[in-house]
Chains A and B, each alone.
Chain A
Amino acid sequence: MTTGRRLAGFLATVALAALLGLTTAISMPTSHEAGAAVRLSWTARPEWIEECRAATEEELARVEVHMRQRVVCDGAAASYQLRISVDDTVVAEQVVRGGGLRHDRPMHVLVNQPVPPGLRRLRVELLRREARDSLRDLVPADLAAVEDTGLFAGRAARELDERSRRAAAAVPPRLLLDTVLQLPAQRVALVRYDPDGRRLVLVTDHDH
Chain B
Amino acid sequence: MRTQTTHSRRLLNRLDSLVTRLYGWRHSPLHQPGTLAALMLVVMLVTGLYLVFGYRVGDPSGSVARLAADPWLGGPIRSIHRYASDLFVIAALFHGFRMFAQRRTWGPRSLAWVSGLVLVGIGLICAWTGFVMAWDVFGARLAIEGARWLDVLPIFSEPLSRIFSGDGPVPSAFFFVNLFLHIALPLAMGIGLWLHVSRVARPTLLPPRLMSWTIIGILAVLAVVLPARLGAPADPFALPGDTPLNLVTAWWLPITERLGAGVVWLLGLVGAALLIAVPRFTRPRPEALAPSVVDPRLCTGCNQCPQDCPWEAITMVERDDDRPTLVARVDPTRCVSCGICAGSCAPMGVGPPGRTGRDQVGDVRELLRASGVRGIVALCCDQAQAAHRAALTQRGVTVRAIPCVGNLHSSVVELLIRGGAAGVIVYGCPPRDCVGREGPKWLVERLFHDREAELQPRVDRRRVQVATMAAGDLAGTLAAHEQFAKAVEAIAPTVPEPDPLLEQECAVALTGEES
Given known A-B contacts A23-B248, A24-B83, A192 and B238 have beta carbons under 8 A apart: no
Instruction: Specify which chain A residues have a CB less than 8 angstroms from the CB of B222 in the assembled complex.
Output: 17-18, 20-21
B395, chain A: closest CB distance, angstroms: 22
Q: Which of B161, B241, B244 has the most CB of A within 10 A?
A: B241
List the one stretch of B18-26, B266-274, B374-382 in contact with chain A.
B18-26
A141, chain B: closest CB distance, angstroms: 38
Given known A-B contacts A186-B238, A190-B237, A205-B235, A24 and B229 have beta carbons under 8 A apart: yes
Contact across chains for A27 and B237 when beta carbons are under 8 A apart: no
Assembly CA distance A203 to B166 (angstroms): 9
Contact across chains for A43 and B161 when beta carbons are under 8 A apart: no
Instruction: Specify which chain B residues have a CB less than 8 angstroms from the CB of A35 in the assembled complex.
Output: 239
Given known A-B contacts A24-B86, A192-B167, A108 and B240 have beta carbons under 8 A apart: no
Q: Within the complex, which residue of B238, B239, B245 is in contact with A27, where a contact is CB–CB below 8 Å?
A: B245
B448, chain A: closest CB distance, angstroms: 25
Number of A-B contacts (CB under 8 A): 116
Contact across chains for A32 and B239 when beta carbons are under 8 A apart: yes
Q: Within the complex, which residue of B226, B240, B254 is in contact with A21, where a contact is CB–CB below 8 Å?
A: B226
Contact across chains for B86 and A23 when beta carbons are under 8 A apart: yes
Contact across chains for A108 and B158 when beta carbons are under 8 A apart: yes
Contact across chains for A18 and B241 when beta carbons are under 8 A apart: no
Contact across chains for A20 and B87 when beta carbons are under 8 A apart: yes
A95, chain B: closest CB distance, angstroms: 17
Instruction: Specify which chain A residues have a CB less than 8 angstroms from the CB of B166 in the assembled complex.
Output: 39, 41, 188, 190, 203, 208
Assembly CA distance A26 to B303 (angstroms): 57
| B500 contacts chain A at the CB level, 8 A cutoff | no
Q: Within the complex, which residue of B165, B238, B242, B254 is in contact with A110, where a contact is CB–CB below 8 Å?
A: B165
Q: Within the complex, which residue of B23, B167, B245 is in contact with A41, where a contact is CB–CB below 8 Å?
A: B167
Which B residue sits closest to A206, measured CB to CB?
B237
| A66 contacts chain B at the CB level, 8 A cutoff | no
| B221 contacts chain A at the CB level, 8 A cutoff | yes
Given known A-B contacts A20-B83, A110-B162, A208-B166, A25 and B239 have beta carbons under 8 A apart: no
Instruction: Specify which chain B residues have a CB less than 8 angstroms from the CB of A106 in the assembled complex.
Output: 158
List which A1-26 residues lie within 8 A (CB) of chain B: 1, 5, 8-9, 12-13, 17-18, 20-26
Contact across chains for B237 and A188 when beta carbons are under 8 A apart: yes
Assembly CA distance A42 to B161 (angstroms): 11
Q: Within the complex, which residue of B161, B239, B257 is in contact with A188, where a contact is CB–CB below 8 Å?
A: B239
Assembly CA distance A188 to B235 (angstroms): 10
| B218 contacts chain A at the CB level, 8 A cutoff | yes
Assembly CA distance A205 to B165 (angstroms): 12
| A61 contacts chain B at the CB level, 8 A cutoff | no
Instruction: Specify which chain A residues have a CB less than 8 angstroms from the CB of B296 in the assembled complex.
Output: none
Q: Within the complex, which residue of B87, B162, B237 is in contact with A108, where a contact is CB–CB below 8 Å?
A: B162
Contact across chains for B241 and A28 when beta carbons are under 8 A apart: no
Assembly CA distance A30 to B242 (angstroms): 7
| B246 contacts chain A at the CB level, 8 A cutoff | yes
Given known A-B contacts A23-B247, A25-B229, A17 and B218 have beta carbons under 8 A apart: yes
Assembly CA distance A184 to B99 (angstroms): 53
| A29 contacts chain B at the CB level, 8 A cutoff | yes
Assembly CA distance A32 to B83 (angstroms): 29
User: Residue-by-residue, is A62-88 near B (CB-CB < 8 Å gives 1, otherwise 0)?
Assistant: 000000000000000000000000000
Contact across chains for A204 and B237 when beta carbons are under 8 A apart: yes
Instruction: Specify which chain A residues have a CB less than 8 angstroms from the CB of B260 in the assembled complex.
Output: none
| B159 contacts chain A at the CB level, 8 A cutoff | yes
Given known A-B contacts A9-B23, A13-B218, A190 and B243 have beta carbons under 8 A apart: no
Contact across chains for B244 and A25 when beta carbons are under 8 A apart: yes
User: Residue-by-residue, is B72-89 near A (CB-CB < 8 Å gives 1, otherwise 0)?
Assistant: 000000000011001100
Contact across chains for B158 and A28 when beta carbons are under 8 A apart: no
| A36 contacts chain B at the CB level, 8 A cutoff | yes
Contact across chains for A187 and B82 when beta carbons are under 8 A apart: no
Contact across chains for B235 and A27 when beta carbons are under 8 A apart: no
Which A residue sits closest to B166, measured CB to CB?
A190
B214, chain A: closest CB distance, angstroms: 9
Contact across chains for B21 and A28 when beta carbons are under 8 A apart: no
Contact across chains for A18 and B226 when beta carbons are under 8 A apart: yes
B286, chain A: closest CB distance, angstroms: 42
Given known A-B contacts A25-B226, A39-B166, A41-B166, A5 and B22 have beta carbons under 8 A apart: yes
Instruction: Specify which chain A residues have a CB less than 8 angstroms from the CB of B236 in the assembled complex.
Output: 188, 190
Contact across chains for A28 and B22 when beta carbons are under 8 A apart: no
Q: Within the complex, which residue of B24, B161, B225, B239 is in contact with A186, where a contact is CB–CB below 8 Å?
A: B239
| B470 contacts chain A at the CB level, 8 A cutoff | no
Instruction: Specify which chain A residues have a CB less than 8 angstroms from the CB of B159 in the assembled complex.
Output: 108, 110
Contact across chains for A43 and B162 when beta carbons are under 8 A apart: yes
Contact across chains for A190 and B165 when beta carbons are under 8 A apart: yes
Which B residue sits closest to A43, measured CB to CB?
B158
| A57 contacts chain B at the CB level, 8 A cutoff | no
Q: Which of A27, A39, A43, A192 has the most CB of B within 10 A?
A: A27
Q: Within the complex, which residue of A21, A28, A33, A110 is in contact with B83, where a contact is CB–CB below 8 Å?
A: A21
Assembly CA distance A37 to B144 (angstroms): 16
Instruction: Specify which chain B residues have a CB less than 8 angstroms from the CB of A24 in the assembled complex.
Output: 82-83, 86, 228-229, 244, 246-248
Instruction: Specify which chain B residues have a CB less than 8 angstroms from the CB of A203 in the assembled complex.
Output: 166-167
Contact across chains for B218 and A208 when beta carbons are under 8 A apart: no
Instruction: Specify which chain B residues have a CB less than 8 angstroms from the CB of A42 in the assembled complex.
Output: 167
| A99 contacts chain B at the CB level, 8 A cutoff | yes
Contact across chains for B239 and A36 when beta carbons are under 8 A apart: yes
Additional A-B contact list (13), CB under 8 Å, known A27-B245, A187-B237: A5-B24, A9-B22, A17-B221, A21-B83, A23-B86, A24-B86, A25-B228, A29-B243, A30-B241, A32-B241, A41-B167, A187-B238, A188-B238
A-B complex: 4 closest residue pairs judged by Cβ atoms: A205-B237, A21-B226, A41-B165, A32-B239
10 A/B residue pairs, CB under 8 Å, sorted by A: A8-B22, A25-B244, A28-B253, A30-B257, A43-B162, A108-B158, A110-B159, A186-B241, A187-B237, A190-B236
Task: List residues of A whose CB falls within 8 A of some B CB.
Answer: 1, 5, 8-9, 12-13, 17-18, 20-30, 32-33, 35-37, 39, 41-43, 99, 105-106, 108, 110, 186-190, 192, 203-205, 208
